[in-house]
Amino acid sequence: MVVPGSQHIEDKMYNPPAELQRDAHVPDFNSYLALYRKSLENPEGFWKEVADEFFWKKPATGPMLQYNFDMTKGNIYVKCMEGAKTNMCYNVLDRNVKERNLGEQVAYYWEGNSPDHHMAITYRQLLSQVCRCANVLKQMGVKKGDRVSIYLPMIPELVYTMLACARIGAVHSIVFAGFSSDSLCERIMDAQSRILVTADGVYRGEKLINLKQITDEALEKCREKASSTVTKCLVVKHHALRAKGGAACNKLQTPWDSECDVWWDEAMRDAPEECEPEWLDAEDPLFILYTSGSTGKPKGVLHTVAGYLLYTSLTFKYVFDHHHDDVYWCTADIGWITGHSYITYGPLANGATSVLFEGIPVHPHVGRFWEIIEKYKVTKFYTAPTAIRLLMKYGREPLQKYDLSSLRILGTVGEPINPEAWHWYYDVVGRGKCPVVDTFWQTETVNVLLCFVLANGKHLATFPFFGVEPTILNEHGEELEGEAEGYLVFRRPWPGIMRTVYRNQERFENTYFRKFPGFYVTGDGCRRDKDGYYWITGRIDDMLNVSGHLMSTAEVEAALTEHSAVAEAAVVSRPHKVKGECLYCFVTLKDHREFTHTLVEELKRLVREKIGPIATPDFIQNAPALPKTRSGKIMRRILRQVARNEKDLGDLSTLADPKVVEILFSQRCEAA
């Protein structure tokens, strides 16, 4: 999306302020190029140097990276530092406390939904809480390799639990606490988790959410579908202890099953503060994180210990140009990959001080983000275009009340940032003094792949991070040189790339490697300009990006067709001022069923229940029939054009019944 009058920023070169450049890890473009070349020409040496910063119980016997990206030559695999033994939790906590003398440094400033709730947690305190939690999990029978599902809001206990898992070699599977009980159930069943960790309830803005009730519904659904693998549910007393006015104001009824449920505070009370880390193989799993798949069933993206440690720590250091006096704040939720990599593991591996924020940008007032930046003197701020667009609506006034002069670098992630939002971020939030680092990556790639190069770059365009080798292919899989547009793919792995889809290697290979043998296929389109900069143009598959969250059309369609009145459904995206894209759904009803306002509301509710509030459709249109090819394939291109009211339809020769299109245009929804 290019806003008139803003094209000029596209090609303008950008130099950061001199004082930022002076101390930067990569001070200028030539030093970036030199390091980048080294990372490709001598990956062994490059990654060894990174690994040397960390603690290895046993050194590697194999090379830094081994792989096969070509399906025609055998199974796809990536291995990093085979033979090495280490522990993630030891490296991000014990190493900082014991070897780097950072015990008294603040790891997190936790800021609650209400500004009255906040606390500072030092590295030493974090280590002791994590060890106690690790001992609690062990007491509950959790062993190396077991999966632990975590359904928690943005509270310190979420960080304690994930690191406790990492400490004892359990595999965490965090489910964003805004997901529905159906989504939670599906993820618990796929991961076959033994333990579920949740909280009684949480305020999100003004809204009180009974997490324990949703959890119980999810467990009940698991039991209905199969025998549930979950034996214990550990429940953080968050709402009851931290609610405004304390326990007396507890407004929740917490359902309780004394066979299964255990209160967190009771279990933690007597747990010892020492816990020897489990020494894991470099390629042992660290976590599973579910992401949408084009078939509608979420994929359990699996990441492993050593490669994730190397890549997360390095990207954090360089992308945010981390220095020891920084206060860093990433506004994502840990339930998404951004939070895993850039709230927990990346910052901690670097001994950073971060803000951990439970709330939302507009509660109790629309200046909350700016208030928090002033309060903690945040220097590096990382958020999503959708948040910027939301806050833009309130103008400059809410910012002017606060001192934002501590800010040095602004980051963005999740979707292409439109020039209008970029300008506002740069001019208003950063007062023209802070570079905007645009970071492109995916759940699968775990960390930044392409990023704005701090030293000297173009606005809105990026260069590859160290160790990654992007290229652009056309439909026939031919590599395009120079200025070009096509499929964004990667020719070789980097340490942090996903290893497989949990319990489904076949799906892993088919999704990312079948289309173009020898390459990892991102699913995104991309343009390379005459100067070699990469511009992400957006998804080129059936995925949608709503407020920076990726979802598949298939999963929303599956939810809609569960309604007894719906015969068929097709979902496309339509541009949205704040969300970037929103869902526009076409439903064909069964005979004799009527398209009413009540039905529309029922369908919206169904999607919320099946997937979660983020997937709520903005538009639902009655479609007496869907445009199909003669072979019966839905022509989504046409539906997208109906949703956007674009009448220039181009070639319709493959369409079976052209009358359908006219009817759809005549009945399209104008407003939500």
> By the criterion CB under 6 A, which residues form the site for ligand WT7?
291, 336-338, 413-416, 438-443, 522-524, 536, 539, 545, 549-550
| Residue 6 burial (CB count, 10 A) | 16
When the beta carbons of 337 and 615 are compared against ligand WT7, the nearer one is 337
Q: Position of tokens 């924020």?
A: 357
Q: CA 252, 253, 254, 258 torsion: positive or negative?
A: positive
> What's phi and psi for 571, nearest 5 deg?
-120, 135
Tokens of 270: 């007597």
DSSP string, 385-397: HHHHHHHHTT-SH
DSSP letters along 327-388, please?
EEEE-S-TTSHHHIIIIIIHHHHTT-EEEEE-S-TTSSSTTHHHHHHHHHT-SEEEE-HHHH
Residue corresponding to tokens 């006219």 = 662
- Residue (215 or 462) nearer to ligand WT7, CB: 462
Q: Which is nearer to ligand WT7, 376 or 520 (CB)?
A: 520
Cβ proximity to ligand WT7: between 361 and 414 the closer is 414
Closest distance between ligand WT7 and the C-beta of residue 584, in Å? 18
**Of 506, 508, 464, which is closest to residue 489 (Cα–Cα)?**
464
Q: Which is nearer to ligand WT7, 157 or 555 (CB)?
A: 555
CB of residue 442 to ligand WT7, shortest distance in Å: 4
Q: How far is the CB of 559 from ligand WT7 (least distance, A)?
A: 18
- Find all residues with CB under 8 Å of 261, minimum gap 6, and list them: 232, 233, 235
Closest separation between CB of residue 338 and ligand WT7, Å? 5
Asked if omega into 277 is within 30° of 0 (cis), the reply is no
Residue number, 86 or 445, with CB nearest to ligand WT7: 445
The half-sphere exposure of 617 on its side-chain side, counting CA atoms within 13 A, is 30
φ/ψ (deg, to 5) at 123? -60, -40
Q: Which tokens belong to 303?
A: 């990441």
Q: How far is the CB of 562 from ligand WT7 (least distance, A)?
A: 24
Say how many C-beta atoms besides its own lie within 10 A of residue 116's C-beta: 10
**β-strand 85-86 against 280-281: which pairing, if any?**
antiparallel
As measured in angstroms, the least distance from the Cβ of 180 to ligand WT7 is: 18
Least Cβ distance, residue 443 to ligand WT7 (angstroms): 3
Minimum distance from CB of 290 to ligand WT7 (Å)?
A: 10
Give whichever of 307 and 367 is closer to ligand WT7, judged by the CB atom.
307
Residue 73 CB, shortest distance to ligand WT7, in Å, is 26
**Cα-based distances in Å from 47 to 25, 145, 444, 448, 463:** 17, 27, 20, 16, 19
Q: How far apart are CA 29 and CA 362, in angstroms?
A: 38
Nearer to ligand WT7, 234 or 417 (CB): 417
Residue 46 CA from chain centroid, whole number: 27
Please identify which residue in the block is written with the tokens 């602004």. Answer: 410
- Specify whether the CB–CB gap between 635 and 654 falls below 8 A: yes
Identity of the residue, 398 or 538, whose beta carbon is nearer to ligand WT7 in the bound complex: 538
What type of residue is 275?
A: C
Decide whether 408 or 549 has the Cβ nearer to ligand WT7.
Answer: 549
CA–CA separation, 87 and 652 (whole Å): 58
Of 341 and 641, CB closest to ligand WT7: 341
Q: Which is nearer to ligand WT7, 51 or 550 (CB)?
A: 550
The nearest distance, CB 210 to ligand WT7, in angstroms, is 27
Measured from the CB of residue 537, what is the shortest distance to ligand WT7 in angstroms? Answer: 8
Question: Least distance from C-beta 110 to ligand WT7, angstroms?
Answer: 23
Select 260 or 554, whichever has its Cβ closest to ligand WT7: 554
Rounded least distance, CB 316 to ligand WT7, Å: 14
Provide, rounded to whole angstroms, the least separation between the CB of residue 485 and ligand WT7: 15
Is 581:575 a contact under the CB 8 Å cutoff?
yes
Helix (H, G, I), strand (E, B) or coil at 123: helix
Q: Taking the C-alpha atoms of 161, 218, 300 and 608 in order, what is their torsion angle to the nearest 10 degrees?
A: -110
Structure-block tokens of residue 254: 């917490």
Please provide the size of the chain in residues: 672
Task: Please say which residue, 64 or 384, places its beta carbon nearer to ligand WT7.
Answer: 384
Q: Please state the φ and ψ torsions of residue 534, each to the nearest 5 degrees.
A: -100, 135
Instruction: Please report how close the Cβ of residue 523 comes to ligand WT7 at its closest, in angstroms.
Output: 6
Closest CA to 203 of 241, 248, 256: 241
Whether 548 and 383 have beta carbons less than 8 Å apart is answered as no
Q: Which is nearer to ligand WT7, 232 or 380 (CB)?
A: 380
Give min distance, CB of 572 to ligand WT7, in A. Answer: 16
Q: How far apart are CA 47 and CA 323, in angstroms?
A: 21
Q: Is the Cβ of residue 108 or residue 176 nearer to ligand WT7 in the bound state?
A: 176
Amino acid type, 573:
S
Q: What is the b/e burial string over 609-624, where b = at least 16 CB atoms within 10 angstroms of the residue's CB?
A: ebbbebbebbbbbbbe
Yes or no: say if 523 and 543 are a contact pair by the CB < 8 Å rule: yes
Of 589, 122, 52, the C-alpha closest to 348 is: 122
